[in-house]
């Protein structure tokens, strides 16, 4: 599997988009865990970061990115530009995290940058 560049910008420095291959996306749906909810409840009472949920959302974000990259690889892309994230609540205690962007083929810039 080749390395895919993922950026939130519409361009990649030093490169030009030679072809647009289409939108790519990756998503995951995660549910909270009862044990983590109990720990989070205690943190909510005493204050501070709820690290259990921070870790859960970070893992979900990485899985969504990995799935988006897999889709970009299947199209033969060099990069995903204009990457964005969105979330939606599906039911109490479960949410979807979606990563999406545009898969592109790149070539070295024809003019110096």
- CATH number of the domain to which 25 belongs: 3.30.110.70
Q: What is the mean pLDDT of residues 86-110?
A: 90
In a domain, 23, yes or no: yes
* pLDDT score of 102 more than 70: yes
pLDDT exceeding 90 applies to what percent of the chain? 62
Q: How far is CA 23 from the centre of its chain?
A: 13
* pLDDT score of 109 more than 70: yes
In a domain, 113, yes or no: no
Query: Model confidence over 38-80: pLDDT tens digits?
Result: 666 666 676 777 777 788 889 999 999 999 999 999 999 999 9
In a domain, 88, yes or no: yes
Position 31 scores a pLDDT of 80
* pLDDT score of 27 more than 90: yes
Range of the domain at 94: 5-108
Q: What is the mean pLDDT of residues 10-39?
A: 86
In a domain, 65, yes or no: yes
88 vs 77: CA distance, rounded Å: 28
Residues 6+ positions from 109 with CB-CB distance below 8 Å: 14, 15, 16
Give the total number of structural domains in the chain.
1
**In sequence order, what are the beta bridge partners of 85?**
99
pTM of the shown model: 0.83
């Amino acid at each position: 599997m080749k390395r895919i560049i993922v950026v939130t910008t519409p361009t990649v420095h030093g490169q030009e988009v030679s072809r647009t291959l289409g939108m790519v996306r990756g998503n995951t749906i995660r549910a909270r865990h009862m044990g983590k909810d109990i720990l989070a409840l205690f943190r909510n009472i005493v204050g501070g970061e709820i690290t259990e949920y921070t870790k859960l959302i970070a893992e979900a974000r990485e899985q969504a990115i990995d799935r988006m990259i897999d889709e970009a690889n299947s199209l033969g892309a060099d990069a995903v530009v204009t990457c964005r994230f969105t979330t939606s609540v599906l039911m109490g205690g479960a949410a979807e995290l979606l990563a999406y962007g545009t898969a592109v083929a790149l070539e070295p810039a024809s003019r110096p940058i």
